[in-house]
Amino acid sequence: MSGGGTASKALFERARRVTPGGVNSPVRAFGAVGGTPPFMASAQGPYLTDSDGNEYVDLICSWGPMILGHRHPAVVEAVTGALEHGTSFGAPSTGEVELAEEIVERVAPVEQVRLVSSGTEATMSAIRLARGFTGRGKVVKFAGCYHGHVDALLASAGSGLATFALPDTPGVTGAQASDTIVLPYNDLASVEKVFAEIGDEIAAVITEAAPGNMGAVPPLPGFNAGLKEITARHGALFVSDEVMTGFRATRSGWYGRDGVAPDLLTFGKVMGGGFPAAAFGGRADVMAHLAPAGPVYQAGTLSGNPVATAAGLATLRHSTSEVYERLDEVSATLGREVSAALTKEGVAHRVQYSGTMFSVFFTEDEVVDFDGVRATESYRYTPFFHELLRRGVYLPPSPFEAWFVSASHDDRAVGRVVEALPAAAAAAAAATP
Ligand code: PLP
């Protein structure tokens, strides 16, 4: 099994003494694939370097934010410039206005936006606002969609139509989860059914605009439009979670692809340029309910932090059409090469895309929902992952996560992945359950 070297192993041991599981976000512990996670020391462009000096082509890109690659000169300059002026004001400042204007300019359904510090805060606040606006309590989410670790939204699965969710994790009470209704993804009939039964109790439907958190499982044609239509008919809000897809799928996110206008949208990742900045926004009449304009409370000590807004603004301003073209090109090339290598080894698979995020599922069938994801031969991923890691390619350490690329992934970086693929494909072929 591959993984971090001597320095990473020592760091992991130290970390485990002082931090639960040795990491500050569970997936980083390599629990799904085994081995020691390399502890990273630095990053540049498409590459990460770990504490043992090993270099990797980065296909996680910090789980989305690093659309321009690591240490893009414009972002570094913006951040160091901001630092000269102060690191946190706790008072309104220019960067917040500019970042809000940039978001409003790019994403037409966003008439007003509130900045927060994480995607979790964005979805939590959007749900609270939707409840405050509609005066209703229930929220519909889809199995396999992740919206951060908001108590009510961690309620995930449950079979059948209109399953009233049970908490997915200890610490979330039945009461917190009881207003969450989990439905199968891409299944409009189940949404119709639950709205027919209790539509007047439902405040909102929240969905990943194009899911990446069960691997890449894009919406079927008409799914998002159907959600919009059903919610509108019943006086509920359609909340599109663009924390992953926002400013990555296109300059205006997934909205730029399907043109379905949500009532509220959530953002994070790219708009923070590698710093903690996120946002939620949408219809002005809904956002007007937010304090201090309206009664729904929401706040944050570091919201609109000047360093984070500078990084986010620089990232967005340098995300030109050439950047988006390159993201499309790199993800298409890598998907094609992964597929070619696996085909050569006779491994049944599908490469699926949610915009420029993509992932490989070990199955012959199109994957359209979480049950489909669970039915794949995911045991093939572990040896596939480790062969790539050993050869200097850093993939998500889980078969159920999307892969992310950046515009800095040049032909050399792509070539290094392509070179490593045959061994990984052979390992996937040899895997046993
Ligand atoms: N929503 C989606 C779609 C996400 O992918 C994530 C994180 O991966 C979140 C919300 C939560 O964002 P954060 O990790 O910044 O709290």
Tens-binned pLDDT, residue by residue, of the chain (433 aa): 788 899 999 999 999 999 999 999 988 999 989 999 999 999 999 999 999 999 999 999 999 999 999 999 999 999 999 999 999 999 999 999 999 999 999 999 999 999 999 999 999 999 999 999 999 999 999 999 999 988 888 866 333 333 445 566 778 888 888 899 999 999 999 999 999 999 999 999 999 999 999 999 999 999 999 999 999 999 999 999 999 999 999 999 999 999 999 999 999 999 999 999 999 999 999 999 999 999 999 999 999 999 999 999 999 999 999 999 999 999 999 999 999 999 999 999 999 999 999 999 999 999 999 999 999 999 999 999 999 999 999 999 999 999 999 999 999 999 999 999 999 999 999 999 9
Whether 359 is in a domain gets the answer no
Q: Is residue 296 part of a domain?
A: yes
In a domain, 358, yes or no: no
Tokens at 61, concatenated = 């890109």
Could you tell me the distance, in angstroms and rounded to a whole number, from the CA of residue 137 to the centre of ligand 1? 22
Strands 237-241 and 202-208: parallel
Residue 17 — left, alpha, or beta (φ > 0 → left; ψ -120 to 50 → alpha)?
A: alpha
- Tell me the β-bridge partners of 352: 359
Note the pLDDT of residue 265: 99
In this structure, how many other beta carbons lie within 10 angstroms of the beta carbon of residue 423?
Answer: 16
Nearest protein CA to atom 12 of ligand 1, as residue: 119
Task: Count Cα neighbours of 247 within 13 Å in the Cβ-side half-sphere.
Answer: 31
As for ligand 1, residues whose beta carbon falls within 6 Å of it are 63, 118-120, 123, 146-148, 208, 213, 241, 243-244, 268, 278
Q: Is-catalytic flag, 263?
A: no
Number of domains in the chain: 2
From 147, 156, 264, 398, give the residue whose CB has the most ligand 1 atoms within 8 Å, as the site to mutate.
Answer: 147
CATH number of the domain where residue 57 is located = 3.90.1150.10
Q: Residue 370 falls within a domain, yes or no?
A: yes
Report the pLDDT value the prediction gives residue 167, as an integer from 0 to 100: 64
Q: Are residues 45 and 108 in the same domain?
A: no
Report pTM. 0.97
* CATH (domain of 278): 3.40.640.10
Give the nearest ligand 1 atom to 63 CA. 8
Q: What is the pLDDT of residue 104?
A: 98
The verdict on 384 and 290 lying in the same domain is no
Catalytic choice (179, 187, 241, 369): 241
Residue among 151, 244, 270, 359 to mutate when testing ligand 1 (max atoms within 8 A of CB):
244
Is 344 considered catalytic here? Answer: no
Residue 156's pLDDT is what? 60
Asked if residue 197 belongs to a domain, the reply is: yes
> 194 and 124, same structural domain?
yes
146 is catalytic: yes
User: Peptide bond before 433: cis, by omega within 30 degrees of 0?
Assistant: no
Looking at residue 169, what is its pLDDT?
76
Nearest to 277 by CA among 400, 117, 135, 130: 117
Longest dimension (CA), the chain: 60
282 and 390 in a single domain? The answer is no
Q: Which atom of ligand 1 is nearest to 123's Cα?
A: 10
32 & 86 share domain: no
Which residues have a Cβ under 8 Å from the Cβ of 283 and sit 6 or more positions away? 109, 111, 263, 264
Residue 326 structural domain: 6-71+320-351+364-425
Question: Is 386 found in the same domain as 244?
Answer: no
Residues 168 and 268 in one domain: yes
Residues 279 and 393 in one domain: no
Torsion of CA 118, 132, 209, 305, to 10 degrees: -20
Instruction: Tell me, yes or no, whether 88 and 217 share the same domain.
Output: yes
φ, ψ (nearest 5 deg) of residue 224:
-65, -40
